[in-house]
């Protein structure tokens, strides 16, 4: 280290690791509050992370589809090289799916903790008018979050059938890298192209919901 102080990024990383390893969310939230990050800020940050991962996932699934088309339309050249590109694309998609699941889990944890805290603190408000107003705001926030959560989880579920097919193609070609095997995959292109198109549409809806949530929460 160049100095005796931890920079903010390293501090945040350390706090995150503490939370993950020890499950000590109270200590994590307390430390983040000292840095000016309330739960609502953390929730919006986490939603942004999911949105960014889904945006990248769209391109990676499109790339995998492109690789399949390259293989099924193969007309001479280095078939092994084309196969390796497909394998790499599949691995990128698989890793991104795991990242998205992890980030959605983070969103769900912070949302649950935030709404629980909000509900508890409403009871501490003595002014009935303010208490009623806060209850209304909480109900509205929960409704927005339920809509976002449904969109995020639907798009996540849609990744796994596509990943399953991609894995099938990669394993099949690994042991049958020849013209006949390539021909056998030709009939699969229409099916997986539709699934990728549907998946990207689901991700677009999730990304749109995330943008709306971030702007209005």
pLDDT tens-digit map of 23-82: 567 888 988 889 899 999 999 999 999 999 999 999 999 999 999 988 888 776 788 888
Q: Which long-range contacts (CB under 8 A, 24 or more apart) does 69-74 make?
A: 69/189, 71/173, 71/182, 71/185, 72/182, 72/185, 72/186, 72/188, 72/189, 74/179, 74/182
* Count of beta carbons in the 10 Å neighbourhood of residue 46: 19
Domain ranges of the chain: 1-37, 38-216
pLDDT at 17: 42
pLDDT interval class at 139 (50, 70, 90): very high
21-24 own/partner pairs: CB under 8 Å, 24+ apart: none
Alpha helices (H) along 73-188: 79-122, 128-175, 179-184
CB 210, CB 47: distance < 8 Å: yes
Q: Residue 110 class from Cβ within 10 Å (0-12 exposed, 13-18 middle, 19+ buried)?
A: buried
pLDDT of res. 14: 46
Residue 74's pLDDT is what?
76
pTM of the model: 0.83
In 3-state terms the chain splits into helix, strand, coil percentages (rounded to 5) of 85, 0, 15
How far apart CA 58 and CA 50 sit, in angstroms, is: 12
CA separation for the pair 116, 103 (Å, rounded): 20
pLDDT tens-digit readout, 163-179? 999 999 999 888 888 87
* Nearest of 160, 159, 184 to residue 172 by alpha carbon: 184
């Amino acid at each position: 280290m160049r100095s005796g102080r931890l920079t903010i990024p390293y501090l945040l990383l350390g706090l995150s690791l503490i939370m993950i390893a020890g499950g000590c969310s109270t200590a994590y939230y307390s430390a983040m509050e000292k840095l000016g990050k309330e739960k609502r800020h953390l929730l919006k940050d986490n939603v942004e992370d999911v949105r960014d991962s889904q945006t990248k996932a769209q391109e990676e699934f499109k790339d995998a589809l492109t690789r399949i088309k390259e293989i099924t339309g193969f007309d001479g050249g280095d078939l092994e090289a084309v196969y390796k590109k497909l394998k790499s694309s599949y691995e990128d998609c698989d890793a991104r799916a795991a990242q998205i699941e992890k980030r959605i889990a983070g969103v769900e944890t912070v949302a649950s903790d935030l709404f629980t805290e909000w509900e508890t603190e409403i009871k501490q408000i003595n002014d009935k008018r303010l208490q009623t107003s806060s209850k209304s705001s909480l109900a509205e926030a929960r409704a927005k979050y339920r809509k976002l959560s449904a969109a995020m989880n639907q798009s996540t579920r849609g990744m796994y059938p596509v990943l399953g097919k991609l894995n099938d193609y990669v394993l099949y070609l690994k042991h049958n890298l020849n013209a006949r095997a390539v021909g056998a995959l030709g009939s699969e292109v229409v099916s997986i192209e539709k699934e990728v198109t549907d998946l990207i549409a689901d991700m677009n809806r999730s990304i749109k919901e995330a943008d709306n949530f971030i702007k209005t929460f």
